[in-house]
Amino acid sequence: MALLSSCSAISDRLGFHFEVATVDHGLRPEGAIEAAKVGEASRTFGGLKHHLLRVDVPNGSGLEEKARHARYAALERIRASERLNVVATAHTANDQAETLLMRLMRGSALGGAGGIQELRADHVIRPMLFATREDVLAYLQAREIAFATDSMNADRSFLRVRVRSDVLPALDAAAGGPVVKALARFASLAAEDDAWLDEQALAALGDPSELLADKVLTLPPPIARRVVALALTAQGVEVNFEVVAEVLRALRDGGTATLAGDRIFACKNGRGYVENAPPRLHATSSSTGGREGP
């Protein structure tokens, strides 16, 4: 609601056109009611076009990640069909700090400590990363703008909720004051480092379907990891730190690495490829010529 209000306030002055989209993931019964209220607010803020997007997110493990992918895919379809330039989301400095801490806790080394990017290559921008959640609430209250709170933000089964309710307050207490802005600033600077490293990796990648061991293994480790991740991703392989480490080992030793989806990475004569895994062998009982075995 703060993003909607602020965009409405500056759009005429800056001369840009914007539309509003609400994604209903179907995970909460109140989601449809909230989406309808956003539609009403869109009309109040200058009769803005409102897109109600419904996505299906299967329950189970990784719910938050699956919902995120479905949400961004739906928003990108609207952006492209409406011929808009970007998708703007209302992530704040708190979201940035939480993402940084979650990456550190999970040991995520591929994306570095960059956290949430202010400007992504896939037409997504986050213009509110400078503001804390408290700043946003103060903005809404000062303008008497109604808003809704997602009930899933209190579900402690999600790591982000536990980081928000337990870890950040503990860090505030240990530091003797709020740490959100400091963490967000660190993540922002780290994102610039990551962007430069990604550029170097892309320049060194070459043909993503073939990795040359003597080339990859002579690269600095941060670049080599990114080159491997880029090559695997280009071939539809799910990537994490362990997979990249195994592929680097296969390149070094001339061996193989197991990948998701019954695929392997194989290095032969210094050249590494993604291949389908060989058929599994099934044990069969030998014939006893009609006689019972011992």
Least confident of 22-31, 64-73, 114-123, 209-218: 114-123
284 occurs within a structural domain? no
Last residue in a domain, options 172, 195, 218: 195
pLDDT tens for residues 4-21? 999 999 998 999 999 999
- The pLDDT assigned to 111 comes to 62
- The pLDDT assigned to 109 comes to 57
**Residue 62 scores a pLDDT above 80:** no
3-state SS class at 103: helix
Which of 85, 136, 89 minimizes the C-alpha distance to 117?
89
Comparing 209 with 62, the larger pLDDT belongs to: 209
> For the chain, what is the mean pLDDT?
89
- What is the pLDDT confidence band of residue 287, given thresholds at 50, 70 and 90? very low
Which residues face 257 on adjacent strands? 265
Same domain, 60 and 102: no
- What is the pLDDT confidence band of residue 108, given thresholds at 50, 70 and 90? low
The CB density around residue 137, as the number of other CB atoms within 10 Å, is 13
125 membership: H or E segment, kind and range: strand 124-125
Domain that holds residue 5: 1-83
What is the value of pTM for the model shown? Answer: 0.79
In the block, tokens 């921008």 appear at 125
Q: How far apart are CA 154 and CA 147, in angstroms?
A: 16
**Residue 286 scores a pLDDT above 50:** no
3-state SS class at 271: strand
Comparing 238 with 77, the larger pLDDT belongs to: 77
Q: Which pair of structure tokens corresponds to residue 34?
A: 């909230």
Domains: count for the chain = 3
288 occurs within a structural domain? no
Same domain, 103 and 21: no
Which of 127, 125, 101 minimizes the C-alpha distance to 115?
101
- The pLDDT assigned to 122 comes to 86
200 occurs within a structural domain? no
pLDDT tens for residues 128-168? 999 999 999 999 999 999 999 888 888 898 899 999 999 99
Region 108-125 average pLDDT:
78
Contact indicator for 242, 253 with CB cutoff of 8 Å? no
**Residue 127 scores a pLDDT above 90:** yes
Which of 195, 193, 188 minimizes the C-alpha distance to 121?
195
